[in-house]
């Protein structure tokens, strides 16, 4: 259902308009209509009649402070939506539980990010040992990714030990992002898809048509000089 919230400003003849309970006391000037909404009666200062104040134009504008109205509308909305009223002690306990849950979440994800960052950096180190001709660019190495990832991991561990959970989580996230950027850098991926043991399979079809005539010519030249040397030796004998 649609909830309605009405602010009613009484006319001059109705002002002031108050709401009384069964005991005859006026505790509030607002009330609820179940499954419909809430009504707020706002009594404003009644201006003098036109016969007395001729400079005031009627009808005149009146500015209502929304902050004052929402202090009534929000509790009405909670009641209409079925929210239970909590005492201050229970609210404090819930806030403490939320803080503890947040601390646990930050700690778990910080440790997880540190573990992933360390594993990624270890994989990068193994990759460097496996591919002998790999070259690490300055952006990947000294200036940006690797050093930033390592320093962020160390900083996150220090902050986690000191109890600065939020800062430790942010540092661990930076470490994870930097280590993954380093590992998946395009310059490294090119070498992964072009390993050294496949260079022969790529270059042989290119150099074979040129290499065979060169080898044959070299063999013929060797054979020619050998026969010439052998004939010269027989002539001397």
User: In this model, does residue 233 exceed pLDDT 60?
Assistant: no
Q: What average pLDDT score do residues 100-122 get?
A: 90
8 Å CB contact between 175 and 156: yes
Question: Which residue do the tokens 């609210």 mark?
Answer: 91
Residues counted in the chain: 237
> Which tokens is 94 given?
């819930």
What does residue 234 show for φ and ψ, rounded to 5 degrees?
-65, -35
Strand 30-33 with 4-8, pairing: unpaired
User: Structure pTM?
Assistant: 0.47
- pLDDT of 3-16, one tens digit each? 899 999 888 788 88
Count CB-CB contacts under 10 A for residue 71: 10
Phi, psi of 218 (to 5 degrees): -65, -40
Query: What number is the average pLDDT over the span 79-88?
Result: 75
What mean pLDDT do residues 151-179 have?
A: 90
């Amino acid at each position: 259902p649609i909830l309605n919230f009405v602010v009613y400003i009484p006319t001059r003849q109705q002002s002031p308009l108050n709401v009384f309970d069964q005991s005859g006391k006026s505790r509030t000037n607002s009330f609820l209509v179940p499954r419909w909404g809430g009504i707020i009666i706002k009594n404003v200062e009644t201006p003098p009649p036109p016969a007395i104040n001729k400079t005031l134009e009627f009808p005149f504008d009146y500015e209502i402070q929304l902050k004052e109205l929402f202090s009534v509308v929000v509790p009405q909305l909670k009641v209409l939506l079925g929210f239970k009223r909590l005492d201050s002690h229970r609210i404090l306990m819930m806030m403490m539980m939320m803080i503890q849950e947040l601390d646990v979440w930050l700690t778990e994800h910080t440790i997880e990010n540190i573990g992933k960052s360390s594993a990624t950096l270890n994989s990068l180190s193994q990759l460097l040992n496996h591919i002998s001709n790999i070259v690490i660019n300055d952006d990947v190495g000294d200036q940006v990714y690797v050093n930033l990832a390592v320093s962020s991991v160390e900083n996150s561990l220090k902050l986690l030990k000191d109890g600065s959970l939020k800062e430790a989580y942010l540092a661990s996230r930076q470490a994870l992002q930097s280590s993954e950027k380093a590992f998946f850098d395009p310059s490294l991926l090119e070498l992964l898809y072009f390993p050294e043991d496949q260079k022969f399979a790529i270059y042989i079809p290119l150099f074979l048509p040129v290499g065979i005539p060169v080898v044959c010519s070299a063999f013929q030249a060797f054979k020619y000089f050998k026969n010439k040397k052998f004939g010269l030796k027989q002539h001397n004998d």
